[in-house]
Structure 1
Amino acid sequence: MGRIETIATRPAADVPMAGGQLTLPALLKARAARNGAAPLFSDRHTHWSGNDAADIAARRAGSLAAHGVKRGDRVALLCTNRTEFMEIVLGCGWLGAIVVPINTASRGLQLEHILRNSGARLMVAEAHLVDAVYAAHAPDLALKQVWLIGGDASQPAVPATIEAIALPPLGHACEAAPLADGDALAILYTSGTSGLSKGVICPHAQFFWWAHYTGAKLGVVAGDVLYTCLPLFHTNALNSFFQALTLDAQLVADRRFSASGFFDALVATRATVTYVLGAMVPILLGRGAAEAERAHRVRIALAPGVPGHFQEDFTARCGIALLDGYGSTETNFAIGGGIEDQRPGFMGKLSPGFEARVVDDCDRPVPDGEPGELILRADEPFAFASGYFGMPEKTVEAWRNLWFHTGDRVVREADGYYRFVDRLKDAIRRRGENISSFEVEQVLLSHPAIETAAVFAVQSSLAEDEVMAAIVLRETHALAPLDLIRYCEPRLPYFAVPRYLDFVTDLPKTENGKIQKYKLRDAGVTPTAWDLEASGYRLGRK
C-alpha cells in the first residue's frame, strides 16, 4: 500500500494572514516600520537599510511608471549580483509589474525564447551583457527599450527597433499598487538543461513562504548576516533577500563564487549564515586548508545536493553545519528539517504545511522503499508557483490531478526520510535495468582523484542506453580508466558501471553551477572517450 503523507500546521502566530499582507510592498513597509534603520542589503559596494529599501522601491517604481511600465507588464532583467538588480525587483514589485530575471549566461535561441515567451517590452541589462540581447533580437519580439547599467547608448550594434538609454535615475516616489498575495512578482525561467526554458510564475506570497520556511530551518534571527555568492536570478539567492527582509537580518550578495576567496568573503562580511550548492563543497574541500576557514562566524549553510560523504568532512574542517533539503522554483522548502534532523545522503522528512506522495506513472502511490516520482501540495495559498507563463499545456501537465509533479525520482523510507534518486529524464535504461545517474555519480565522486563528474545516457546500437561519464580530476591527480572501472565494480551493479569514460578539464554548467547534461548528451561519445568494451576487460557479475 502506498504512502500519502500530510503534515499540516498553521503558521506561527506572528505571520500576517490577511490578504495582501504577504506582498513585497507590504513586507517592505512592515520592515521599515519595525526595524527601518537596521541594515538590509549590500552588494559589498552599496548598503541599504530597511528604510532605504522602501524608498528605493517607491522611487524606482516611479521611474518605471514614467517610462510607460504598467501593472502586469513584464520587465526583463539581465544583471549580475548588484544593487541595481534589487532596485528593479523592488520597483517592479511596488508598481505591480512582473520582473523577469534572466540567467546571465543565456544566449542565442534560449535568450530569444525567453524574450518572446515573456513578451517583455523593456529590458534592464548590464552593458557588458547587452550584446547577447542584440544578437538574439528578432523582428517579432516585443522588446522596444533597453536600460543600460554601467554604460551608455553609444553602442553601434543596437538594432533599429530598440531604443537604448542609460539606466534612468530613481524617480519620484509613487504609491504602492493595491496587490493581492497571489499576484505575480516574478517569472523565473528554468535552466533549460533539457529543452526550452519554462517561465515559472512566482506570486508575491511564494517568496514570503520561502523566507518563512527556509529561515526557520536555518534558524535565522534578527541581526544575522546572510551571505550569498549564488546568482540573484535564481530562487535560492532571491529568496535569501526575503529571509533578510522578513526576519530583520541583512543579505550580502557577492558577484560570483570564488573558491579561493569564499572563506575570505565570509570573514570580511562577518557573515553568520551562507548558501552553497552541491558542487561547491567538494571544490572547496579540494583546496589546501587556509586560516580563513576557521576565522569566520558562519554557523550554518543551506547546502542542497551535497553528497553525503562530503558533509561531515566539510563541517569538521570549516566548522559550518550543512543543511540539506528539497525545494524547486515551482514549489517551496517542502522537505527537510533543522540541523538536528540531518541524515547524510537524505533530503530529510516532509515539512509541516505540505503534502507529499511518491507515485508511479499513473499517479498511484508506491510503497515505502520503492522509487517513484515526488508530487507535492502546499497548505498555504500561493506558497507554490501559479504555473508556466504562456504555456498552459505544460502547466496542466505539471499540475495534473491537483498535485505538482516535480519530475524527481525519490524514495520515501519507512521512517519518513526522503532520498533523492534521480531526475526522471536522467534515468538510464540499460540491459533491461533502470540506472540512476545520480547514484553512479556518487560512486565516482567518492574516488579521491575525482573532483566532479556527470553521468548520462548515450545511444547504443542495441536500441538501449549506454552509460557514459564525463570526469574532471583534481589538480595533480591522475587516474587510469581501467583503475576507475575496478573501483566502480564493487560499488555498482555491473550494468551501472560506465562503458564510456571521458576525462575533461571542465563540464558545461549554468550560471548557478548546474551541469548541463543535455550538452553532454548531444555531444554523445566523443573522440577522446575511453570505451570499456573496446579495452577487452570483462566485468565480473557478482
Structure 2
Amino acid sequence: MRFRPDRTLGEELAIKAERYHSKPYIQFEGQSFSYELINDQAARIAGFMESKGFGEDKVIGILMPNVPTYLSIFFATQRVGATVVPINTSLKDDGLAYIINNAGITQIYTVPSLLAELDRVRDRLDQPLQTVVAKEFKDETLPEASSDSMLIPLTTALNHKPQAAPRKNINPKSVSMLMYTSGTTGYPKGVVYRYGTSQAKMTRILAHMLIAEDDIYYTCLPLFHANALIVTNLSVLYAGATLALSRKFSASKFWQEIRDSRATAFNTLGTMIAILMKQPEHPLDGTHHVRRVVSAACPAAIWEAFEKRFNVNLIESFGAVDGGGIVTMNVGNAPVGSIGKPLGKVKWRLVDEHGNDVPAGQPGELIHFAGGNATREVDYYNNEKASAEKTRGGWVHSGDLMWRDEKNFLYFAGRNSDSMRCGGENVSALEVESAVNRFSSVLESAAFGVPSELAEEDVMVVVQPREGDTVNPEALADFLKDKLPKHAQPRYIRIVNALPKTETHRVIKHLLKSEGITSDAWKAPERSR
C-alpha cells in the first residue's frame, strides 16, 4: 500500500490517473468512466471554481443523487482546498436551509429535479447561493446561465480551462469536508474533517486492507453518506480498483445489479440484509462474483442464513462518522453476531448512565479515550455545545449501546436514545425489532417507548408488512410471547404502508414518536402484557 498522509484527495486522484489512465474508475448504468476522465473533469471544475473565487476557506455543497459527476465535483473541491459538504437529497424546507446556513455554503452543485427545493429556501439563506446544475440523466436539458451568474450549467465548468495541478500548500487545519449526521432525532450536526488530521484518511486506510486492484466494489448507498463516499469510494481510489455505482438501493434489482456489474465486493447495512432476506428466493441467489461483503449491524438471527442463501462471507464492522475514528471488525475471528473488538491501541470502556463500568453481558455505552489526539476527537461545526457533550474528560461518547462477552468481543445493542424503561427494566429497541422482524409477514419495524398508564413507558411497535402481505397484530403479539421477556412485549402495534426513512435506510423514529399512540394502533389486553 502506498500512502502519504500529506497527500490530498485531489493529488491522489491525479496520481492514480497517471498510473491507470483508461482503466475504469466508475461503472454506471452500462458506461465506464476512466481514471483519466474523472481526473480531467475534476481539474476543469477546479479551474472553474478558482475562476469564481472558490478555494481555501470557501464552502461548497453537493446536493445530488448518485451520478459519476458527483465524484468529479467532490475531487475538484479537494484540488482547490475548499470545504465540501455532501447534502442529503431528501432534505427539504427548514432542514435544507439549516445545513446551507450552518455550513456557510455559497456555491452548490445540484440537478434539475432538486432546483425547486433550493428555490423554496433561498429567502431563508444567510448568503447569496451560486447554483451549478448538472445532468441527472444522460439526455436531460440543463437550464441556461442566468444574467447574474447565480445559476450556471455544469457544462460551463466542464469546458473550462483545467487547473494546472492540485494545490499543495493547503493549511492542514483547513476544513476539507463537513459530513452531516443523519439527524433522526433533530437537526443534523456537521462533523469536521480537516486536510491535515482527517479521520477520513484513517477510515480509507482500514478499508484499503480489504480491497485489491482487481476488485469491483459495488455501492447503492448514497454518495452523501460516509459509507459510500469514504469507505467505498476512497477504498477504490487508494487500491486502484473500480467502483460500480448504482442510483439507489432496490431489493428486487440488487442481486441482478451485482451480477451485471461483476462486483466482487459490496457494503451493506443491517436493514438491507433483513430486506434482502425477505425477498422471494431465486435460482441465481448464490451465483455471482462477490468475494467479500462488509456489513454494518447485521442481525445475528439471520447472519448465517444470509451467508448460506447468497453464498457470501460477511465481515461485520462498526464505525460512525462522528465516532472519533474508532473502528471494530469481525473477520471471522469473533462469534456470529459480534462486531469484534476495536482495532489498534484504543482505550475503551462500556459504561452506564453514571459513567461506571458495566460487567460482561450487560449493555453499556461505548466510550473511548481521545486524550488530546486530534484524530480521535469529534468536532461539530459551529456547535460548541454538542462538541463538548461528545467529548467529556477526554472520553468520546459514542451514544451506542454495546455489551461484551467474557473474551471482550463486542455486540451492538442499539442507540442510547433507543433504550426504553419498562417494568423497571431497560429494554433495547433493537432487541424488540429483531424479534418482530422474524415474523414472516413483517418487512421492517420500529420500536420505541410511549408514556405508560402505570408510569415509565410501554413498548410501541410500528410495522411495515412485506409487499403483498398483511400483518395481524394479535398473531404477531402471540408470536412474540416466547421471543421477548414480559417487560419487553409490545403494548401497542401499529401497521403502516411504509416506515419513514432516511436515504440511508434508517427509520426516522422521532416522527413516529411525535405521532404517539394513534387511533389505528392495536392495544394488547392486560393479560397478554
**CA separation in 1, counterparts of 2:260 and 2:179?**
31
Counterpart selection for 2:204 from 211, 222, 225: 211
Counterpart selection for 2:446 from 434, 437, 454: 454
User: Equivalent residues in 2 for 1:45-444 (5 A)?
Assistant: 46-150=31-135, 151-153=141-143, 163-167=150-154, 168-170=156-158, 171-174=160-163, 175-177=165-167, 178-179=169-170, 183-204=174-195, 205-216=198-209, 219-239=210-230, 240-331=232-323, 334-337=326-329, 339-377=331-369, 383-384=375-376, 386-444=378-436
Aligned amino acid, residue 20 of structure 1: D
**CA separation in 2, counterparts of 1:476 and 1:182?**
54
Conserved? CA contact 1:460–1:466, under 8 Å: yes
Conserved? CA contact 2:464–2:495, under 8 Å: yes
**1:115, distance to aligned residue in structure 2 (A):** 1.0
Distance 1:120 1:397, change over 3 A: same
2:266 alignment partner, SS class: strand
**CA separation in 1, counterparts of 2:133 and 2:414?**
40
Superposed CA deviations along residues 135-162 of structure 1, whole A, max 9, x for unmatched, are 123344224211112354479xx9x999
2:445 alignment partner, SS class: strand
1:453 alignment partner, SS class: strand
**CA separation in 2, counterparts of 1:225 and 1:91?**
24
**1:130, distance to aligned residue in structure 2 (A):** 1.7
**1:494, distance to aligned residue in structure 2 (A):** 1.1
**CA separation in 2, counterparts of 1:93 and 1:379?**
29
Aligned amino acid, residue 74 of structure 2: V
Partner residue, 2:527: 537
Conserved? CA contact 1:20–1:180, under 8 Å: no
User: Equivalent residues in 2 for 1:427-506 (5 A)?
Assistant: 427-506=419-498
Conserved? CA contact 1:358–1:373, under 8 Å: yes
**CA separation in 2, counterparts of 1:179 and 1:386?**
22
**1:510, distance to aligned residue in structure 2 (A):** 0.3
| TM-score (normalizing by structure 1) | 0.89
Aligned amino acid, residue 40 of structure 1: Y
**1:362, distance to aligned residue in structure 2 (A):** 4.3
2:364 alignment partner, SS class: strand
**CA separation in 2, counterparts of 1:382 and 1:91?**
26
Superposed CA deviations along residues 180-202 of structure 1, whole A, max 9, x for unmatched, are 55543211111110011101112
Conserved? CA contact 2:78–2:176, under 8 Å: yes
**1:203, distance to aligned residue in structure 2 (A):** 3.1
**1:57, distance to aligned residue in structure 2 (A):** 2.5
Conserved? CA contact 2:267–2:295, under 8 Å: yes
| TM-score (normalizing by structure 2) | 0.91
Partner residue, 2:6: 20
**CA separation in 2, counterparts of 1:364 and 1:27?**
44
**1:291, distance to aligned residue in structure 2 (A):** 4.0
Conserved? CA contact 2:420–2:448, under 8 Å: yes
**CA separation in 2, counterparts of 1:87 and 1:386?**
28
Superposed CA deviations along residues 78-102 of structure 1, whole A, max 9, x for unmatched, are 1011112111110001100111111
**1:27, distance to aligned residue in structure 2 (A):** 2.1
**CA separation in 2, counterparts of 1:63 and 1:379?**
42
**CA separation in 2, counterparts of 1:251 and 1:334?**
25
Superposed CA deviations along residues 413-435 of structure 1, whole A, max 9, x for unmatched, are 22121111121111111222211
Conserved? CA contact 2:370–2:377, under 8 Å: no
Conserved? CA contact 2:56–2:174, under 8 Å: no
Distance 1:63 1:409, change over 3 A: same
2:37 alignment partner, SS class: helix
**1:333, distance to aligned residue in structure 2 (A):** 6.8
Gap runs ≥5 in structure 1:
1-13
2:328 alignment partner, SS class: coil
**CA separation in 2, counterparts of 1:472 and 1:109?**
28
**CA separation in 1, counterparts of 2:261 and 2:345?**
34
**CA separation in 1, counterparts of 2:287 and 2:185?**
41
Instruction: Indicate the percent of aligned positions where both proteins have the same amino acid.
Output: 28
Conserved? CA contact 1:20–1:179, under 8 Å: no
**CA separation in 1, counterparts of 2:218 and 2:376?**
25
1:303 alignment partner, SS class: strand
Partner residue, 1:10: none
**CA separation in 2, counterparts of 1:471 and 1:398?**
32
1:129 alignment partner, SS class: helix
**CA separation in 2, counterparts of 1:360 and 1:238?**
34
Aligned amino acid, residue 440 of structure 2: P
Aligned amino acid, residue 203 of structure 2: W
Aligned amino acid, residue 391 of structure 1: N
**CA separation in 2, counterparts of 1:183 and 1:269?**
38
Decide which moves more: 507-516 or 164-173: 164-173
Aligned amino acid, residue 82 of structure 2: A
**CA separation in 2, counterparts of 1:243 and 1:454?**
33
Q: Provide the aligned length of Structure 1 versus Structure 2.
A: 517
**CA separation in 1, counterparts of 2:396 and 2:148?**
40
**CA separation in 2, counterparts of 1:376 and 1:73?**
33
**CA separation in 2, counterparts of 1:379 and 1:35?**
41
**CA separation in 2, counterparts of 1:385 and 1:102?**
23
Distance 1:61 1:154, change over 3 A: closer
**CA separation in 1, counterparts of 2:181 and 2:477?**
35
**1:509, distance to aligned residue in structure 2 (A):** 0.3
**CA separation in 2, counterparts of 1:144 and 1:335?**
37
**1:282, distance to aligned residue in structure 2 (A):** 2.2
Partner residue, 1:524: 516
Aligned amino acid, residue 166 of structure 1: P
Superposed CA deviations along residues 90-131 of structure 1, whole A, max 9, x for unmatched, are 000110011111111001111111111011011111110121
Conserved? CA contact 2:199–2:325, under 8 Å: no
